[in-house]
Structure 1
Amino acid sequence: MDGINKDISTPGPCDDNQSAQTETSATSSRNTCTENPNKQSSVITLKPYAPVRSKGKFNGNGDCEIGPGIYEQSYDKYLTFSLEEPNCDIFNVYRCILKCCGREPKISPEGKGKLTVETTSAKESENLKSLSPLGGVKVECAVHAYWNHSKGMIFASQLMTYSEEKLVEELKDQGVIKIERMKKKVNGALVPLPNLIITFNSTRLPNIVKAAWLRFKVKQYIPRPRRCSHCQEFGHMLGSCRQKLQGKPAICVKCSEPEHGICNKHARCVHCGENHPSSSINCDVYIMEKEIQSLRVTE
């Protein structure tokens, strides 16, 4: 028994060699790490998950213009000034706006005694809102009625059973203020489509809309060119047609002649003169008007 205990407790020559090799290996490993601190280790270190976010661009005024993403509230970019004295000194008004902004903003006249000013930051917008009088003239400043909004479109077949009012109520925390469902006429009846036109209370159009756990990609909405059903010309609708107000007859959408009821004549476009109705989406003039609409919306 004493011999057995002695053999177990006392290391032999092989054990001494193994211990020496182990110590030498550990020492060389430490020396390697010390000599090459930049060498990658085979040990994996787990870190908490951090979602990747889009980087913003600073515009120099302290405001970060975020990239397209989920809705974020923006400032009132377009302001309307109503001058109580239409015959005021426009030079004094102009100098007052320049002094407040510290630069030359884009100013557009809108009707008699009204100006629209485009701002570039929330601070500039708030300064102009508190500016009264303007060049010695009493003014009334208000947020532009529709220029501070943006329109997008989504394809959502999963939301076909929900009304427009219900969707607005559920998505209002994402800046949604209006939803219109597109419709198509089939056999004389309007059939609802999965396409939704969404109006956001922001000039920045998000690229994602969340409905519960569903996510929908938002595309820029580009309206179709407006075409008058009276004169068939682009750029206005029936209610503002000058030819109708002047008592001129309506133009046939098929043959481009004065309206004569059911038309059995050959098709002739009033825009380009080709052999197709004036309502054709293949008309070169219609395609050009559509490109103009796209530039107006995107730029």
Structure 2
Amino acid sequence: MPSREEENNRNHGQTVRARRRNNRPHWRPSLSDENLNEPQPSGPPQKQYNKFYTISANNGCHLSSIDVIAANREIENTLKGKPTKINETRSGTLLVEVTNCQQSRTITTIKSLAGVPVTVAAHERLNESRGTIWYPNRPNYPDEDLLAELSQYGVKAVYRTKRREHGVLVPTPVYVLTFDGCHLPGHVAVGWTRCQVRQYIPKTRRCFNCQVFGHGASSCRQQTGTCVNCAREQHDLPCTYPAKCSNCKLPHPASSNTCHFYKMEEEIIATLRDKR
């Protein structure tokens, strides 16, 4: 009868052979494995650097008319490399997208280009991003209190969305957060409630005057309005004519979300958002 020691050795050998057949290496605890269950350090993200800057001439001249070769060389020498992109705007200024944090700090030291005094400033809108969170807000915090709590994540504006029910605007649990930076964090926390941050997708913008997408009525150049239902010149409401879209000419109002132009505008917004 085999002894206990011989039986243990035989079982160990069978285990090793089975492990080799399954190609499973023997696991040994390591220092990293011992710390797997320890809580990982967490906290508010560090402040992001500005990526977009405008450069304008102090005398009001168009920077496209100066010595652009010399000016571009001066920009690259100051930044110690090429920026991601430089674009000329219609107003004659330059829109510069820097590559890293070092370029973000050094671009502000530029005082002149090709002998022309210039001013460098961070872009007002492009250096921010917007995301949405779902937070039920059972304590009924006002937006000001939520802004104070979320400012540690770089949030600089909080807006609670609303929906219309029976003619009355009712607040929803969806909040739009504006972040001071081009990249959104994965989550934010209100107290102990962890909220996932999703990319904010703005709604399509349709002019209520001419019914064309892409601008608002305040900046519309069309003198006479267009009826949203029948595509005729603006007339007394309610409209009694058959529905006809002023954009695609199909039998539906210009406000319909089934319109080809509406869907195309949604795709444009999504593409611009993803490329940003």
Task: Give TM class, smaller chain.
Answer: 0.7 to 0.9
Distance 2:92 2:194 in 1: 45
Alpha-carbon contact 2:83-2:97 (below 8 Å) kept: no
Higher mean alpha-carbon deviation, 230-239 vs 85-94, is at 85-94
Q: Which residue pairs with 1:47 in the alignment?
A: 34
- Among 225, 248, 253, the alignment partner of 1:250 is 225
- What secondary structure is seen at the aligned counterpart in 1 of 2:113? coil
- For these two proteins, the number of residue pairs brought into alignment is 256
Match of 2:58 in 1: 84
Q: Which residue of 1 aligns with 2:17?
A: none
**Structure 2, unaligned stretches of length 5 or more?**
14-19
Confirm or deny that 1:182 pairs with 2:157: no
Structure 1 residue 131: Cα displacement: 1.8
In 2, the alpha carbon distance for the partners of 1:230 and 1:218 equals: 35
Structure 1 Cα separation of the partners of residues 103 and 127 of structure 2: 15
Listed as ranges, the matches of 1:260-271 within 5 Å are 260-262=235-237, 263-271=239-247
Match of 2:134 in 1: 155
Change (3 A) 1:290 1:52: farther
- State yes or no: 1:202 paired with 2:181: yes
What letter corresponds to residue 99 of structure 2 in structure 1?
Answer: T
The Cα of 1:184 is off from its aligned counterpart by 1.6
SS at match of 1:286: helix
Given candidates 251, 258, 275, the residue that maps to 1:275 is: 251
CA separation of 1:87 and 1:75: change in aligned 2, threshold 3 A: closer
TM-score (norm 1): 0.75
CA contact (8 A) 1:98 1:105 kept: no
Deviation at 1:296, TM superposition (A): 0.6
1:241–1:160 distance in 2 versus 1, CA, 3 Å: farther
Residues of 1 paired with 2:233 and 2:123: CA distance? 41
% identical equivalent positions? 33
Aligned to 1:65: none
The match for 1:58 is: none
Q: Which residue of 1 aligns with 2:16?
A: none
Partner of 2:200: 221
Shift of 1:188: 2.9
> CA shift at 1:42, angstroms?
8.9
Task: Find 1:99's aligned residue among 57, 77, 80.
Answer: 77
Provide the secondary structure at the position in 2 that maps to 1:282. Answer: coil
* Whole-angstrom distance in 2 between the partners of 1:143 and 1:195: 30
Q: TM-score, normalised by structure 2?
A: 0.81
1:117-136 alpha-carbon deviations (Å, 9 max, x no partner): 00010111111111222222
Letter in structure 2 aligned against 1:99: N
Q: C-alpha distance in 2, partners of 1:298/1:271?
A: 26
User: Residue 123 and residue 163 in structure 1: after superposition, are their counterparts in 2 closer, same or farther (change >3 A)?
Assistant: same
Q: What residue in structure 2 maps to residue 143 of structure 1?
A: 122
Give the alignment's Cα RMSD to 1 decimal. Answer: 3.3
- CA-CA distance at 1:103 after TM superposition: 2.0
Structure 1 residues without counterparts, runs of 5 or longer = 1-20, 33-37, 54-68
In 2 relative to 1, CA 291–159 (structure 1 residues): closer, same or farther, beyond 3 Å? farther
Q: CA deviation at 1:238?
A: 0.9
Contact conserved, 1:179 with 1:198, CA < 8 A, in 2?
yes
Taking the TM superposition and a 5 Å limit, the aligned residue runs for 1:116-131 are 116-131=95-110
Greater gyration radius: 1
